[in-house]
Amino acid sequence: MKIAVINSGSSSLKFKLFDVQRMQLLLDETVDHIGEQNSSVHNHHEAIESLHVNFNEIDAVGHRVVHGGERFVDSVFIDDAVIEAIADLIPLAPLHNGANLEGIKVVRQYAPNIPQIAVFDTAFHATLKKEAFLYALPYEMYEKYQIRRYGFHGTSHAYLLQKAAAMLGKNVQDTNIITLHLGNGASACAIKKGKSIDTSMGFTPLEGLVMGTRCGDIDPAIVLYMQKVLHVSATEADEILNKKSGLLGLCGDNDVRNIEQRSDESGKLALDIMLRRIQKYIGAYMVLLEDVDAIVFSGGIGENSQRVREAVMNNKILKKIKSLVIKTDEELQIVNECLEVLKR
């Protein structure tokens, strides 16, 4: 059996093909610069056509979909109603859901008989209770406009949970861990008895930890000040918070490898601010979880930077807790999700 995983972005399409029986990666192709000036690939349809794969050999396609809103609490077969629902969620994730949907539609056109499955980045956090997912805003903001925390990176946190439980020799439903996905985007998740009970990303992937170019938690009044006093437009504010902040904003670089080599004050300070934020979330999640079997480090930074891991754990309270390093594999998790859906 062969399952393909597609991560369709606005200008790129990542494609991986797995042989399920052998759990082997057969093909790994990325088409970049889709629709850009001077690019030979004008749209997602051409991107699919350019892949070196025979779609007749594929048994199912799993798509990464960033936002599942409140409707999708699990992976699903894609039909017309699902497509419509993903389209309805575009305002909640304008950069992502539209592009994800484009990938789905193109595969549907190109290979209409292959079952397609949507795997949502928010779904793992569908177990958050109201006290975790509501902001202290007027309640109608939630009821009328669905403004709440959703959480992201769910596919990664779910994968890390499975792996960590196996490493700890525990059943998933008995596992209490804090997972840290520390990549260019970064999020923490408190997992109690195998379920996400809290996570650092919120209404969008901007909230929470200090990231490569995203600020994470800030006083929301700063945005109002930027707009009212500094006359920064909403579009510019979006750009500043998402693309010009985080490590990049603090020290001019968002690659932790480079920053670790530096000896200047601003590089060290940027890392210290990032580390302190991680520790604050761990502290909060330890209180929520009460029992913590392990803290799991993952993502490019968590997997590779021993210095970051040691700095986070170098604390009287945290020293008593086991830490694990797990290489995340979102595509493999999507394949596993597809297999679950195909069994239904």
Contact predicate 4/53, CB 8 Å: yes
Contact predicate 5/335, CB 8 Å: yes
∠ CA 307-276-206, nearest 5°, is 105
Q: Does 304 bind ligand ADP (CB under 6 A)?
A: yes
Smallest separation (angstroms) from ligand ADP to the CB of 25: 17
Smallest separation (angstroms) from ligand ADP to the CB of 135: 25
Contacting ligand ADP (CB under 6 A), which of 301, 312, 313, 326? 301
DSSP per residue, 248-312: HHHHS---HHHHHH--SHHHHHHHHHHHHHHHHHHHHHHHHHS--SEEEEEHHHHHH-HHHHHHH
Q: Which residues pair with 28 in a beta bridge?
A: 16
Rounded to whole angstroms, the Cα distance separating 47 from 34 reads 7
Compare residues 236 and 255 and give the one whose CB is closer to ligand ADP.
Answer: 255
Q: Does 184 bind ligand ADP (CB under 6 A)?
A: yes
Binding to ligand ADP in span 258-297, by CB under 6 A? 260
Could you tell me which stretch among 3-11, 123-131, 195-203, 300-308 binds ligand ADP (CB under 6 A)? 300-308
Candidate list 28, 32, 88, 121, residue with the active-site label: 121
Encoded one letter per residue, x for contact with ligand ADP by CB under 6 A and - for no contact, window 124-163 reads ----------------------------------------
Residue 81 CB neighbours (<10 A): 9
Smallest separation (angstroms) from ligand ADP to the CB of 225: 29
DSSP per residue, 88-111: HTGGGSTTTHHHHHHHHHHHHHHS
Q: How far is CA 233 from the centre of its chain?
A: 27
Positive/negative CA dihedral, 166, 338, 25, 212: negative
Q: Does 242 bind ligand ADP (CB under 6 A)?
A: no
Compare residues 46 and 329 and give the one whose CB is closer to ligand ADP.
Answer: 329
Q: Does 255 bind ligand ADP (CB under 6 A)?
A: yes
Nearest to 281 by CA among 212, 192, 217: 217
Compare residues 183 and 216 and give the one whose CB is closer to ligand ADP.
Answer: 183
Helices and strands (DSSP H and E) totals, the chain = 14, 11
Smallest separation (angstroms) from ligand ADP to the CB of 86: 22
Asked about 253 being catalytic, the answer comes back as no
Contacting ligand ADP (CB under 6 A), which of 207, 299, 313, 332? 299
Q: Does 197 bind ligand ADP (CB under 6 A)?
A: no
Q: How far is CA 210 from the centre of its chain?
A: 14
Contacting ligand ADP (CB under 6 A), which of 103, 151, 183, 202? 183
Q: Does 257 bind ligand ADP (CB under 6 A)?
A: yes
Residues 6+ apart with CB under 8 A from 311: 271, 275
Q: Does 185 bind ligand ADP (CB under 6 A)?
A: yes
Q: Does 212 bind ligand ADP (CB under 6 A)?
A: yes
Name the residues that contact ligand ADP, by CB under 6 A.
Answer: 183-185, 212, 254-257, 260, 299-301, 304-305
Annotated catalytic residues are 121
